[in-house]
């Protein structure tokens, strides 16, 4: 009897908490009152208690947006999409005249029935691109149900954004780009006439805005977290061993490669971004390269970078600043940063081994690498003793082993042939290169490995 009483008490308490979670319907099931169409000309109608969006040729993305704005909330709804279409649910999004002539921008819950299966991931529409692709949480890729109704849950509380699809936890994100905005349903633009007339439907759209933090889902385990708050280490990242290599404000931890202090010219810190300034394209001829004040052995390094048109730079590791006392850059292995389309160096070297992401002058990155011009991209370098990997935007583009006969033969066929034992040092400085072109860096983080 005692166990039955406790079970009944627990159930009553749970129902009481659920009752306190006050849901507000965003769609009355009859018409589009409280909503407005933005940007495109695709059609939205109401049929059988659902909003129906119909794809249309020769129109940009079309959004059906709430007239009301929302900040902290829990949003739930259901959707069903025909094969071949891509869609999304905007939240904390905006449309302003001073941003791309009113183009909708902001967080988007991805609806993706394609083979990559990123439904439930988070995209930053018209601004930063992917914030949480489901490659970060591959177990969630099986949550989507093709040609069936799918259940969505989005929790946006302060800087914490979490998403679910059919009760499967998908995205775990920290971001502070927007504190409030509208909810919007997207009919994505199409380029294939065969997709015209296909539909996506939404129903049972409801939102909780009254103390939503009290009603967040309890979870047994959090998936990998992505921290999009610039130049910070989240508590989760700290538990994984990540540290800031640059604090976003000062020159602490860095010096000129040929100096005991940070260069007095050629570099600028502005709004959380470390910029190497344009000075004519010469190598280390203005402010010069900068390096970490300490050396690193085994590590995972992550750097966000943005290149200007025609720019050249690089991220080097295993750097020995005592080498090359003459003109030019300090010597080390280099993750090449280059505007492949507009810089002549992309056509030099051997088989493209001077293009973006390449191990400069040694190993070429693939031509179809996931680079976004005009945006910040993430370079990641992983070193485990002699095993080294290059990643661009979470895609591995290069893997190699050093300190062996094949490596030494490769070096002997490169511009580094004259540097004894190049790339074989157990440790070295990390370097950001001044190649006389404007390049931006932020979110420079490192995790030392055993």
Domain presence at residue 113? yes
User: Which residues have a Cβ under 8 Å from the Cβ of 90 and sit 6 or more positions away?
Assistant: 63, 65, 104, 106, 107, 108, 109, 125, 181, 182, 183, 184, 185, 186
Count Cβ atoms within 10 A of the Cβ of residue 193 and give its class: 0-12 exposed, 13-18 middle, 19 or more buried.
exposed
Q: Which domain covers residue 381, as residue numbers?
A: 235-448
pLDDT of 325 reads 79
Same domain, 327 and 221: no
Same domain, 67 and 51: yes
Same domain, 110 and 32: yes
Express each pLDDT in 181-236 by its tens digit. 999 999 999 999 999 999 999 999 999 999 999 999 999 989 999 999 999 999 99
Domain presence at residue 5? no
Q: Which CA distances in Å does 417 have to 168, 407, 414, 422, 432?
A: 53, 11, 6, 8, 22
Same domain, 297 and 424: yes
Same domain, 393 and 421: yes
Same domain, 440 and 414: yes
Q: Do 206 and 24 touch, CB atoms closer than 8 A?
A: yes
Same domain, 171 and 290: no
Same domain, 162 and 309: no
Q: Measure the CA–CA gap between 233 and 247, rounded to whole angstroms.
A: 10
Same domain, 181 and 257: no
Q: Do 396 and 389 touch, CB atoms closer than 8 A?
A: yes
pLDDT of 324 reads 86
Instruction: Report residues of the chain scoring pLDDT below 70.
Output: 1-20
Which CATH number fits the domain that encloses residue 210?
Answer: 2.60.120.560
First-to-last CA distance in the chain? 55
Same domain, 64 and 212: yes
User: Which two structure tokens, joined as six digits, stand for 42?
Assistant: 């695709």
Express each pLDDT in 249-258 by its tens digit. 999 999 999 9
Domain presence at residue 380? yes
Number of domains in the chain: 2
Q: What is the DSSP letter of 210?
A: S
Domain presence at residue 402? yes
pLDDT of 20 reads 65
pLDDT of 12 reads 41
Q: Which domain-ending residue is among 227, 246, 267? A: 227
Same domain, 312 and 185: no
Express each pLDDT in 387-441 by its tens digit. 999 999 989 999 999 999 999 999 999 999 999 999 999 999 999 999 999 999 9
Q: Is the pTM of this model over 0.75?
A: yes
Same domain, 180 and 269: no
Q: What kind and span of H or E run contains 237?
A: helix 235-239
pLDDT of 432 reads 98
């Amino acid at each position: 009897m005692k166990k039955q009483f406790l079970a009944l008490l627990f159930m009553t308490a749970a129902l009481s908490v659920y009752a306190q979670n006050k849901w507000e319907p965003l769609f009355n099931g009859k018409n589009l009152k409280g909503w407005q169409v933005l940007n495109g000309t695709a059609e939205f109608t109401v049929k059988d208690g659902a909003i129906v969006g119909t794809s249309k040729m020769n129109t940009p993305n079309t959004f059906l947006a709430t007239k009301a704005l929302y900040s902290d909330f829990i949003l739930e709804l259901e959707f069903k999409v025909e094969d071949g279409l891509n869609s999304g649910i905007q939240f904390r999004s905006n449309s302003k005249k001073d941003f791309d002539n009113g183009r909708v921008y902001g967080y988007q819950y991805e609806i993706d029935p394609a083979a990559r299966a990123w439904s439930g991931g988070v995209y930053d529409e018209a601004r930063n691109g992917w914030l949480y692709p489901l490659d970060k949480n591959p177990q969630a890729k099986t949550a989507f149900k093709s040609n069936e109704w799918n259940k969505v849950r989005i929790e946006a509380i302060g800087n914490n954004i979490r998403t679910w699809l059919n009760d499967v936890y998908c995205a775990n994100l920290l971001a502070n780009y927007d504190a409030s905005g509208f909810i919007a349903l997207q009919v994505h633009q199409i380029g294939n006439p065969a997709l015209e007339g296909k539909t996506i439907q939404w129903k049972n759209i409801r939102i909780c805005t009254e103390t939503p933090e009290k009603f967040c889902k309890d979870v047994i385990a959090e998936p990998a977290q992505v921290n999009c708050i610039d130049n910070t280490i989240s508590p989760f990242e700290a538990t994984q061993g990540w540290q800031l290599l640059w604090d976003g404000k000062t020159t602490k931890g860095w010096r000129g490669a040929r100096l005991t202090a940070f260069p007095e010219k050629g570099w600028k810190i502005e709004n959380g971004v470390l910029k190497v300034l344009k000075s004519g394209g010469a190598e280390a001829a203005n402010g010069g390269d900068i390096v970490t004040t300490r050396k690193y052995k085994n590590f995972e390094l992550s750097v966000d970078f943005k290149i200007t048109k025609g720019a050249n730079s690089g991220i080097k590791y295993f750097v020995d600043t005592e080498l090359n006392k003459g003109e030019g850059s300090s010597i080390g292995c280099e993750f090449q940063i280059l505007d492949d389309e507009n810089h002549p160096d992309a056509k030099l070297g051997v088989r493209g081994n001077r293009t973006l992401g390449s191990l400069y002058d040694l190993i070429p990155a693939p031509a179809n690498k996931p680079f976004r011009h005009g945006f910040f991209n993430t370079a990641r370098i992983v070193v485990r003793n002699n095993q080294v990997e290059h990643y661009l935007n979470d895609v591995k583009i290069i893997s190699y082993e050093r300190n062996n006969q094949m490596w030494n033969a490769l070096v002997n066929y490169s511009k580094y042939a004259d540097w004894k034992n190049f790339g074989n040092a157990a440790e070295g400085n990390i370097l950001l290169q001044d190649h006389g072109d404007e390049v931006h860096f932020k979110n420079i983080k490192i995790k030392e490995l055993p």
